Amino acid sequence: MFKNCRVVGCGRPARAATGDGLDTRLCRSHAEHNARHGSPYRGSYTAKELAPHRRRAEQWIADNIEDIWVKNALERIATLYTTAGPYEEAYRLRGKSPQERSKIAWARLRKAKIDPRMVLQARLAIELITICDPTAEKKAEFKVVQAAKLVHRMASGTHKRWGEGASAKELHAYPRSRGNVLRHIGYQLEAATELVVANCKLLSVDK
């Protein structure tokens, strides 16, 4: 049966899913965009766009560190770390399923000693930016993927620095986060933080 890509105005034929996280209702280009960003057409938020929202989330977590839902979310994120199984070097990821890769991503956070507060901060920052952005993609999957991208980046990649002071050169290379891995990470994070998101005053004031 012939079908067109469901993105309005695209008109290209929809393709059968051939790879990771691709959507059969979309053309190849929109399917790839959807896999990487969680929306067929909407791009990811930049670090600069996110910075003020991350600061607000960080402050709110610090002010509410004794809150029952904050504690609950931080414990559940820590549980994702401890139940993730063994850490694997990046070069050993070949051939592993998205689910296995998502567990390794949590194990990587554990090994890098990333504070669970940073993970919760990323989740809340995405919630805040989509509330404040009138043109934001509202579907849940977009937020899930956007938060997962931030988390995936926290403990991955190669970071090098040469030289000293103002003339120092830095290289930051990140492995490309694949669509299905991001969805696994994102939905696990969603489940771990759903109660704090539902009860967070910072979010209800803005709504």
The C-alpha atoms of residue 177 and residue 116 are separated, in whole angstroms, by 20
Q: Contact between 120 and Zn ion (CB under 5 A)? A: no
Binding mask 129-158 for Zn ion (x = CB under 5 A): ------------------------------
Nearest distance in Å: CB 28, Zn ion: 8
Is there binding between residue 15 and Zn ion (CB under 5 A)? no
Collapsed DSSP state (helix, strand, coil) of residue 203: helix
CB of 26 to Zn ion, least distance (A): 5
Q: Distance between CA atoms of 42 and 33, rounded to whole angstroms?
A: 8
> Residue 5, interface with Zn ion (CB under 5 A)?
yes
By the rule CB under 5 A, 80 interacts with Zn ion = no
15, 21, 30, 120: residue in contact with Zn ion (rule CB under 5 A):
30
Contact range with Zn ion by CB under 5 A, out of 1-9, 60-68, 76-84, 180-188: 1-9
Instruction: Kindly state the smallest distance separating residue 42's Cβ from Zn ion, in Å.
Output: 13
Look at residues 159, 149, 102 and name the one whose alpha carbon lies nearest to residue 122: 149
Q: How many amino acids of this chain bind Zn ion (CB under 5 A)?
A: 6
Q: Containing H/E element for 161?
A: strand 158-162
173 phi and psi, to 5 degrees?
Answer: -115, 130
Task: Estimate to the nearest angstrom the gap between the alpha carbon of 151 and the chain centroid.
Answer: 5
Minimum distance from CB of 22 to Zn ion (Å)? 12
Q: Is 164 helix (H, G, I), strand (E, B) or coil?
A: coil
Which residue, among 77, 64, 65, has the nearest Cα to 105 in the 3D structure? 77
Is residue 146 helix, strand or coil?
Answer: helix
Cα angle for residues 141, 119, 129 (degrees, 5° grid): 55
Q: Name the residue nearer to Zn ion (CB basis): 6 or 161.
A: 6
Contact flag: residue 27 with Zn ion (CB under 5 A): yes
Using the rule CB under 5 A, give the single segment among 7-15, 76-84, 105-113, 185-193 that binds Zn ion.
Answer: 7-15
**Per CB under 5 A, which region of 24-32, 46-54, 68-76, 178-186 contacts Zn ion?**
24-32
